[in-house]
Amino acid sequence: MAAAENDVGNTTIKEDYTSSTALATTEENVSSKVTETRITTSGHAQYPKIYNNRIVWEDERNGNWSIYLYDISTKRETHISTNESSQRSPAIYGDKIVWEDDSHMLPYWYLSDIHMYDLSTKKETQIPPNFDGMVAEVLPAIYGDKIVWQDLYDEDSGISMYNISTKEETFITADAYSPDIYSNRIVYYAYRNENSRPDIYMYDISTKKETRITTSGSAGKPAIYGNKIVWEDERNGNADIYMYDISTKKETQITSSPDWQRSPAIYENKIVWEDDGGDDDGWENHGIYMYDISTNQKMKISAKGSAYNPAINSNNIVWQYGKEYGGNSNIYMATVGVPQPKSPVAAFSAKPTSGKVPLKVQFTDKSSNSPTSWKWNFGDGKYSTLKSPSHTYSTAGIYTVSLTVKNKAGTNTKTIKNYITASELKSPVAAFSASPRSGKAPLKVQFTDKSANSPTSWKWSFGDKTYSTAKNPVHKYSKAGKYTVSLTVKNAKGSNTKTISGYIVTAKK
């Protein structure tokens, strides 16, 4: 079944509109620019999926449902499945498209099976049917070399998986519906609890372990990306969107609305869904919405209502305008604008800004708008490309400092004239005080250095054959007597000694 390719004259609606909606859980508004593009004009397109630059959907333009693909980069549409049976519910990953196909349906039994089309080889393959072909296989999903789908047999349902690499088919579980897959994890809703009500479950292919995700008994239509699972849940009387983080085992309610929020999809930190209205507005669909987990913000994506079945990949969101039955449904895509960086504005501080040489100064970048590179000029012929460097001035002088910062949007320089003052170091002049200077033994005395010109070392002689190199030592005299105290201080320029005879007087107890 060869795929047919042709150019499509798509209408692009560049409606640069701003839309914001209060998210019930955060009550925070956000505005963003969204560019909406019309992908199809057939009036019979629905259930889109997207992967990188490729969109797939089912389309009834030729009298039967078949699969089409649109390449965003080349703006070319390709008719993938061309037989006269019905091909529905497509999914795409990389070069592979899968769908449910009823070309092998028996007259007395709905027995669709799963087909796969490889865009690189242009070859269509029927996935071997399970249960001797007496099962309808529907709603496929694909990730890497694994395809999952829902089995329909008798009056029951289950989940199966096919490994493209090993050509092995595995039955995953019974009583389960609507599967999705990411890496080695499959999610679905199933009837396992005592009241036979639906909950979300996850199956780990590597450990062959099933984990129950929800306990509400009202959850359905799960989707998974990375460590995050999203689904719709009617636990509060209407459907809201919920999320579960596998790594933290934490559930989060994403929406809280009187309207029904349905059909969620997820990519990285972005969740999309449709708002189907409620009793208060006659079940009027209000469009497609998106929630950004990283910014805790919600925004409207579609320019209008009657928007259904969203899917997302990167910053592109696809959906259909118009319902499945009733005609005039087409595929649209919105590209959510990625905030562009602003040019940085350089700013900095330093501590200290004055002192004796050698003067060590810590510089701190305080620039705005996220610079990605820094160049410091310290004014003494030295430079640094660190964000917040330290620098030592070894020569006395007054220095002008500048910082140049850059990012993708531009460059900016901040210069502060005469910002750092480094004074010439002089030889120290020793001086000190003590308290108390007299009293009964044992007498505890606090000595305090009061030397000038920034000494860097100290040597005390307390007059009782004991010494200290601390700057401000405490010394205890244990015997009565008069004691001569001396302090010798040093720095790079020299040394000096101060001696006071009979400075400390202690008496007997």
Question: Each residue of 13-52: pLDDT tens digit?
Answer: 222 222 223 333 332 333 457 889 999 999 999 999 999 9
Residue 152 pLDDT: 84
CA pair distance 81, 94, nearest whole angstrom: 18
With cut-offs at 50, 70 and 90, classify the pLDDT of residue 325: low
331: Cα within 13 Å, side-chain hemisphere: 29
Other beta carbons less than 10 A from residue 417's beta carbon: 10
CA pair distance 1, 12, nearest whole angstrom: 31
List CB contacts of 94: < 8 A, sequence separation 6 or more. 51, 144
Given the structure tokens 């956000």, which residue do they identify? 30
For residue 77, what are the β-bridge partners?
6, 70
Question: Each residue of 134-146: pLDDT tens digit?
Answer: 578 899 999 999 9
For residue 468, what are the β-bridge partners?
460
Residue 85 pLDDT: 86
| Range of lowest pLDDT (74-88, 185-199, 227-241) | 185-199
On whether the CB atoms of residues 67 and 90 are closer than 8 A, the answer is yes
Mean pLDDT of 162-181: 95
Mean pLDDT of 488-501: 96
With cut-offs at 50, 70 and 90, classify the pLDDT of residue 128: confident
Other beta carbons less than 10 A from residue 236's beta carbon: 13
Mean pLDDT of 75-102: 94
Question: Each residue of 436-489: pLDDT tens digit?
Answer: 999 999 999 999 999 999 899 999 999 999 999 999 999 999 999 999 999 999
**In terms of Cα–Cα distance, which of 82, 98, 227, 211 is closest to 162?**
98
**In terms of Cα–Cα distance, which of 93, 212, 183 is closest to 141?**
93
Residue count of the chain: 509
Residue 20 pLDDT: 28
**In terms of Cα–Cα distance, which of 170, 167, 188 is closest to 231?**
188
| This prediction's pTM | 0.65
Residue 131 pLDDT: 53
Mean pLDDT of 323-330: 72
Residue 9 pLDDT: 29
Residue 340 pLDDT: 66
Helix (H, G, I), strand (E, B), or coil: what is residue 365?
Answer: strand
Residue 304 pLDDT: 93
Residue 75 has pLDDT above 80, yes or no: yes
Dihedral class, residue 206 (left if φ above 0, else alpha if ψ from -120 to 50, else beta)? alpha
Residue 155 pLDDT: 63
- Mean pLDDT (the chain, rounded): 89
CA pair distance 242, 254, nearest whole angstrom: 5
**In terms of Cα–Cα distance, which of 246, 234, 240 is closest to 182?**
246
Residue 11 has pLDDT above 80, yes or no: no
Mean pLDDT of 316-340: 84
Residue 5 has pLDDT above 50, yes or no: no
Edge-first strand order for the sheet with 87-93 is 87-93, 96-101, 113-118, 123-126
Mean pLDDT of 158-180: 95
Question: Each residue of 368-406: pLDDT tens digit?
Answer: 999 999 999 999 999 999 999 999 999 999 999 999 999
On whether the CB atoms of residues 485 and 463 are closer than 8 A, the answer is yes
Q: E strand or H helix at 252, and its extent? A: strand 250-253
What secondary structure does DSSP assign to 469-487, as a single string? -SSS-EEEE-S-EEEEEEE
> 219-228: buried (b, 16+ CB within 10 Å) or exposed (e) per residue?
bbbbbbbeeb
CA pair distance 492, 454, nearest whole angstrom: 10
| Range of lowest pLDDT (74-83, 324-333, 349-358, 367-376) | 324-333
Residue 154 pLDDT: 62
Question: Each residue of 236-282: pLDDT tens digit?
Answer: 999 999 999 999 999 999 999 999 999 999 999 999 999 999 988 88
CA pair distance 492, 503, nearest whole angstrom: 29
